[in-house]
Structure 1
Amino acid sequence: MKTIFITCFFNLVVRNLLETNFFNLLKQQEGIRIILLVPEKNKDFYQREFGAPNIIIEAIPFRPLSKINLLFHVLFWNLLSTYSKKIHKLVQRGKDHNYLRYIFNSLIAWTGSFGFVRNSVRFLDYRFTPGGGFDALFEKYRPDLIFATDLQDLRAQEFSDSYLVREARRRGIYSAGMGRSWDSMTTKGLLRTLPNIVVVQNTNIESWVINYHGVPKNRLRVVGIPHYDDYLVGQRSDRKEFMTRLGLDPARRYIFVTPPSDIWTGDKSFNKFLFNELAKLEEQTVIRLPLFGVLETGGFKPPAGMVFDVPQNVVKLEESMLRRSDDQHLANLIYHSAVVLTSPSSIILDSMIFDKPTVLIGFDGEKAKPFWDSLVRYYEYEHQREVIKNGKLSIAKSPEEMRDLLKSYLERPEQDGEYRKRVAEGACFKLDGKSGERLSNLLWNILTPTK
């Protein structure tokens, strides 16, 4: 019997891993026992959906960070030296005008670009941060492998992925870990504890982990994005049936829109302004509201041919629950659309997978904002900038430019197709629908090495 711990502290792990071919293949391996470590408040859900004779659900209670752990938590958050993190600091400075804090945090980030500093701080963290929180589980199950699915879990709580990896290291237990999403390695802080193997989704992320986190290349494994396997090889709904269900005319094309939530714009009037500008196109439009955060419509009444798609919404991203059926619905929305209009989000990647012309929202409503407060600042993040450059994506700087770009792509959707393919290949590592299989094989081979 081989036992593996898998962390599930962030609910998007359901969409990202548990409802993909990765988990289906792993749980079918003969002689495997999987222990899912989940938040105490969500145990019933995971038990109901994933519990099985060889899959055990263990609830992990919430416990606030100790003072020493909080100190290292904040330090590692600031040690990451990327342009994305510089933008974070510019935003904070713009809000509080605290130039001393900006300079101090910038100096910390600068020191984090040196390998000896990263290694020294990791050693101190390992040496002085107290452990023992998972002792009972280690003794009960004696795992052969730890798989941390969110190495940069930013919740201010004691029992995190990095905590578990650190405990595994102290016990001499092999560990593998990965970042939750495409932006984790450039926006979420320096990796606190390095597992034996760091799993990454593509070669861009691989280079960031090497350059920004100082992880040797021989400890990295590139597998792709498991939840995109279904996008690449899965079946999509019948267009006529799907559009009729949405209340749209199947004989006409539609624009798929994912507006930014008020969290990103900081302006409750923005989306009403955006919707009114879109209505001037007189095209069928599907507007998908965000998974988390609030989006104020300001009493906007959609005209005929404009519909809202409303997923289950939560206040905090960590509580977002995107099930396989929800993800398939999102895939259908993109697949059947003629063009995509979006803001800084992973919808950019989704649309590239389906070869959809994509326009990015790059204005802030009726009045321009300074860079640190503008929507366009997000497009300067490393993960966004790489995709925008490789995909030759257009950022609409005004409502008029937005409408012109959308009209152009509606008339000639084949424009920039070769660049979209380049982005899709870069994001997925391989467009073969086998990312989940690669990840499952990787973990199983660690558990059962060839002698």
Structure 2
Amino acid sequence: MSSKNSETIFISLSSMAVFKNLFFFPGSVFDQLKKMLEERKNLKIVLLLPDKVYYGKYSPFFSSVAGEQFAIEVAPAPAAFENFFQKVFYFFFSYLIYTDATRVFATLGFRPDEPPAGGKRYLAPVKWFIANTFGRFRIIKVSLIPFLFYRVSRQRPFSNLFEKYKPDLVFTPHIYGRYDMRLLAEAKRSGVKTLGMISGWDHFDKYFLPFRPDVLLAQSAHIKKMAVNLQCYEDDGVKIVGYPHHDFISDERYKMSRGELLKSLDFPENARYLLYISGSVYSPDEPDVIETMLRWIDEGRLGPNLFFVIRPYLGGRGADRNFDKKKFERFEEHPRVRFYKREFWGDLEKSIYFVNILRHSSVTMTMFTTAMLEAMVFDVPMLINIFDGYHKRPLRQSIRRYAFNERFEEVFATGAPKVIGSFEELFSALDAFLKNPKLDSEKRERFRDKVLYKSDGLSSQRVIEHIKKALYG
């Protein structure tokens, strides 16, 4: 540990989602950490990046805080397994839980264009057996797995940095990723205080994670419940803070007038529009659904002056983007359709624009993704599609398989968003919400309370309060 006259914080940035959650917007967690640096001259922050690609992408953002109180370290950590024994060990502890999400991964797969479990579907019974035998014993998860981890994983990619800086606190905001897993392991080995978060709402119900930070900062009671029930957290070791980047989404300073937004989209001043957030390869039959909705609009069945905004999937794979390009090209020339194709999270101006597209839509339609959470910040009707257009697909290829997931139980219980299983249900829901936008408003409020916690603009501040408490008591 460092001397009492100074404090050092390690923070990792190993995922684009972390940059979105904690860094890029005014008033973010990192913005408030910069103010702490100004107020406390004995405080030092060390940002850990996994490789030179991350350094090249993100280091310009931190140029304004360069100095003795701030340092960036590129600290690669091996993602690959070091040997066969380590591979077997990782397999073993990962399947100490076997949830509905795990089962889908193991038996059905999440991408219809790839075989389940990388072609190793035959291992599903083994995974189930591990969870239902060894996984029943808390002592194995909490004590034995960390003990074995240090003996199986001999490499210590962060040990030199711990020796160099002697941190007082390690903050790992992406504990689902292997990079943060190794960093958390080193902090635990060194006896350093730890804070942690998951960077997405779907990270606790897939696999078991071997290490738990001293304090987990959960975005909602929904996530806290999964942490306690699936990942062996103690109730008092999980503190609910909200979704930090929702501070930005709900900030009225960035609100565009409806007229200004409609003009930017080249829509009439009295227009209404549906926002469709694509699921790309995960939802191959979207053209059926969009084409049918456009036909209803053209026929006037959904009322006058109705338009369409499509946001294609902005995933990392080039093949997915090409898939979307082919899937949606038929709608490019439709006079009622606009596309929003720019990547936005991380770019303030583009993010402001897309948030306003969310804010002013009459109805938003998507899959079970984080986009659903972001759209639900606003009291806009939300539809979730779980049918395959005009196709009759087996469950292994059907969009229906995404609904088999523990984290959706509480979502379904709120009654919002509205889950759509057929064209008949789709028309009925669109017609009802367009006629009465306040329909089910109380259900959406229940969703925000149960699944989002608070959209009061103070989530980032709550994270900072826990950082201060960990450092100073």
Q: Tell me whether the two structures share a fold, i.e. TM-score over 0.5.
A: yes
The C-alpha deviation readout for 1:175-231, integer Å capped at 9, x for no partner, is 1111111111112x1121122111111112111111111111122111111000122
2:205 to 176, 186, 198: 186
Within 5 Å, give how 1:356-395 maps onto structure 2. Answer: 356-395=380-419
- Give the secondary structure class of the aligned counterpart of 2:195: strand
Give 1:116's aligned residue: 139
CA distance in 2, matches of 1:92, 1:117: 28
8 A Cα contact 1:131 1:167, kept in partner: no
8 A Cα contact 1:14 1:323, kept in partner: no
8 A Cα contact 1:285 1:307, kept in partner: yes
TM-superposed CA distance for 1:69, in Å, is 4.0
TM-superposed CA distance for 1:411, in Å, is 0.5
CA distance in 2, matches of 1:191, 1:324: 33
Q: TM-score if structure 2 supplies the norm length?
A: 0.86
Within 5 Å, give how 1:160-175 maps onto structure 2. Answer: 160-175=179-194
Give 1:316's aligned residue: none
TM-superposed CA distance for 1:280, in Å, is 1.1
CA distance in 2, matches of 1:113, 1:370: 33
**How many pairs are equivalent?**
432
CA distance in 2, matches of 1:7, 1:352: 29
**Consecutive unaligned residues in structure 2, runs of 5 or more:** 1-5, 298-305
TM-superposed CA distance for 1:103, in Å, is 1.1
8 A Cα contact 2:187 2:193, kept in partner: yes
8 A Cα contact 1:15 1:324, kept in partner: no
8 A Cα contact 2:262 2:271, kept in partner: no
1:136 to 142, 147, 160: 160
2:100 to 83, 88, 106: 83
Give 1:105's aligned residue: 127
Give 2:14's aligned residue: 9
8 A Cα contact 2:184 2:211, kept in partner: yes
Q: Tell me if 1:304 matches 2:335.
A: yes
CA distance in 1, matches of 2:76, 2:399: 37
TM-superposed CA distance for 1:17, in Å, is 0.7
Cα distance change, pair 281–206 in 1 and its aligned pair in 2 (3 A): same
The C-alpha deviation readout for 1:113-149, integer Å capped at 9, x for no partner, is 4313313223211333214211221122111110011
CA distance in 1, matches of 2:451, 2:355: 16
1:212 to 205, 209, 230: 230
TM-superposed CA distance for 1:164, in Å, is 0.9
- Give the secondary structure class of the aligned counterpart of 1:395: strand
Alignment root-mean-square deviation, CA: 2.2
CA distance in 1, matches of 2:146, 2:49: 26
CA distance in 2, matches of 1:398, 1:171: 55
Within 5 Å, give how 1:25-36 maps onto structure 2. Answer: 25-29=32-36, 30-31=40-41, 32-36=43-47
TM-superposed CA distance for 1:100, in Å, is 4.1
CA distance in 2, matches of 1:178, 1:76: 20
Cα distance change, pair 392–226 in 1 and its aligned pair in 2 (3 A): closer
- Give the secondary structure class of the aligned counterpart of 2:162: helix
Which stretch shows the higher mean deviation, 208-217 or 378-387?
A: 378-387
Within 5 Å, give how 1:436-451 maps onto structure 2. Answer: 436-449=460-473
Identity within the alignment, %: 25
**Consecutive unaligned residues in structure 1, runs of 5 or more:** 155-159, 313-319
8 A Cα contact 1:340 1:351, kept in partner: yes
CA distance in 1, matches of 2:146, 2:164: 28
- Give the secondary structure class of the aligned counterpart of 1:297: helix
Give 1:286's aligned residue: 309
8 A Cα contact 1:90 1:102, kept in partner: yes
8 A Cα contact 2:247 2:456, kept in partner: yes
8 A Cα contact 1:134 1:167, kept in partner: yes
Cα distance change, pair 297–99 in 1 and its aligned pair in 2 (3 A): closer
CA distance in 2, matches of 1:362, 1:35: 44
8 A Cα contact 1:113 1:212, kept in partner: no
Q: TM-score if structure 1 supplies the norm length?
A: 0.90
TM-superposed CA distance for 1:101, in Å, is 1.7
